[in-house]
């Protein structure tokens, strides 16, 4: 049975919400419970003692990317009539992120093996700890790269929402501002890492407000166009 635009919008909202939850669990919650800055021994101990949580973070991040693919397809489905070129750009900027996540999460699987002594068995505990911290740092650099794409896809998405007529134009503006905030945060982390902690307090407001607002709109209202479905 063919879905109406309203139903498609609500399904997209549910997928977006599930994506936000699984991504936040993997990127924010799990590292907060595992990683101890400048303390390799404690970080290794946390990984070993909370292996299931660490692995759950990996699975959660991979799950979020599967959801991201479906979100992109659902959004493309009802936004292509607004501007097909921009809808394709939006979808492409989503899909290009997926391989990056699978690569950096594979690095986390290697991190577990090093922490448990299954790899580099000839290394001392201190040396293994240094390798674990290196692998986690590589992973965090991968997240910084992803953050750039999180911003890039929100810009055409916001432009499409602004022109679509199914949501208040302010949502389209917020999404674009959120996209630029992600890009700014990523660039600051790469160029001026010492200023990242300060800038994130500012940028966080923009992209959080933008994404929470569009998720709520999609869930509650769905997609309503001025033209008939």
Token code pair at residue 88: 């394709």
| Calpha distance 61→102 (Å, rounded) | 9
Report the candidate in 3, 13, 23 with the shortest Cα–Cα distance to residue 161: 13
User: Looking at residue 51, what is its pLDDT?
Assistant: 95
pLDDT digits (tens, 9 = 90+) for 80-124: 889 999 999 999 999 999 999 999 999 999 999 999 988 888 888
229 has a pLDDT exceeding 50: no
> Could you tell me the pLDDT band of residue 7, with boundaries at 50, 70 and 90?
confident
- Mean pLDDT estimate for the chain: 90
Secondary-structure percent of the chain, ordered helix, strand, coil, rounded to 5:
85, 0, 15
User: Looking at residue 100, what is its pLDDT?
Assistant: 92
Mean pLDDT over 121-148 rounds to 91
Token code pair at residue 166: 């199914």
pLDDT digits (tens, 9 = 90+) for 57-87: 999 999 999 999 999 998 998 888 899 999 9
User: Looking at residue 167, what is its pLDDT?
Assistant: 83
**Contact between residue 80 and residue 60 where contact means Cβ atoms under 8 Å apart:** no
Q: What does the domain layout of the chain look like in residue ranges?
A: 5-147+215-220
* SS (HEC) of 85-123: HHHHHHHHHHHCCHHHHHHHHHHHHHHHHHHCCCCCCCC
């Amino acid at each position: 049975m063919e879905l109406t635009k309203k139903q498609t919008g609500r399904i997209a909202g549910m997928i977006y919400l599930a994506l936000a939850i699984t991504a936040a669990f993997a990127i924010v919650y799990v590292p907060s419970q595992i990683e101890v800055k400048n303390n390799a021994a404690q970080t290794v101990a946390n990984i070993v003692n909370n292996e299931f949580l660490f692995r759950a973070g990996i699975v959660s991040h991979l799950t979020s990317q599967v959801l991201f693919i479906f979100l992109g397809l659902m959004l493309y489905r009802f936004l292509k009539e607004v501007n097909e070129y921009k809808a394709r750009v939006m979808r492409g900027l989503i899909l290009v992120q997926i391989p990056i996540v699978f690569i950096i999460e594979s690095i986390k699987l290697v991190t577990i093996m090093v922490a448990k002594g299954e790899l580099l068995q000839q290394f001392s505990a201190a040396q293994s700890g240094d390798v674990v911290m290196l692998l986690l740092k590589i992973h965090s650099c991968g997240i910084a790269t992803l953050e750039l794409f999180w911003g890039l896809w929100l810009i055409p998405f916001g432009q499409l929402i602004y022109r679509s007529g199914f949501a208040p134009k302010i949502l389209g503006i917020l999404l674009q501002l959120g996209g630029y905030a992600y890009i700014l945060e990523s660039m600051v982390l790469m160029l001026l890492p010492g200023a990242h902690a300060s800038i994130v307090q500012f940028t966080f407001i923009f992209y959080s407000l933008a994404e929470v607002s569009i998720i709520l709109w999609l869930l509650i209202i769905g997609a309503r166009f001025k033209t008939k479905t």
